[in-house]
Amino acid sequence: MGAAPIYHICGREEWAAAQAAGRYSGSSQDAADGFIHFSTAAQIEASAARHRRGQSGLVLLAVDPETLGAALKWEPSRRGEPFPHLYGELPLAALRGVWELPLGSDSRHRFPAAVLEAAVLEAAVLEAGVLEAGVPE
């Protein structure tokens, strides 16, 4: 089955440019930070609410972390929780899925059911103490 996907949110236009170029280098915020920001399924809704609330025209990328090699680092972020950061370009071959990320009337994004289900499963696994938060074994 492989590792659980990690997720990245970007603008629809950024994604279209990446598809045309055959590679994705991240957003302007990613460039400023020196890495592409990702989240796990359990983290993505809170990340969107914190950093992208009210923004329209976004897409959600699901990425296979096993294809990213040593360029993917799990580093502590808010509250010491590890988040995946990619130091380099995202190869388009690493994609598992791309979804539009519509806004609801409350200015929060509406995530695909598959991502929400994965978040519930991931949270249950973490609660059971099977894995450390976000970090693959």
Residue ranges of the domains in the chain? 6-127
Q: Which residues does 109 contact at the CB level (< 8 Å), separation at least 6?
A: 9, 45, 48, 49, 52, 58, 101, 102, 103
Maximum C-alpha span of the chain: 43
- With residue 99 as reference, give the H or E element that holds it: strand 95-100
Distance spanning both ends of the chain, measured CA to CA: 14
48-82 pLDDT tens trace = 998 898 899 999 999 999 999 999 999 998 788 89
- With residue 84 as reference, give the H or E element that holds it: strand 82-86
Classify the C-alpha dihedral 102-60-29-119 as positive or negative. positive
Predicted model pTM = 0.85
Q: 137 pLDDT band (50/70/90 cuts)?
A: very low
Topology of 6-127 in CATH?
ADP-ribosylation fold (3.20.170)
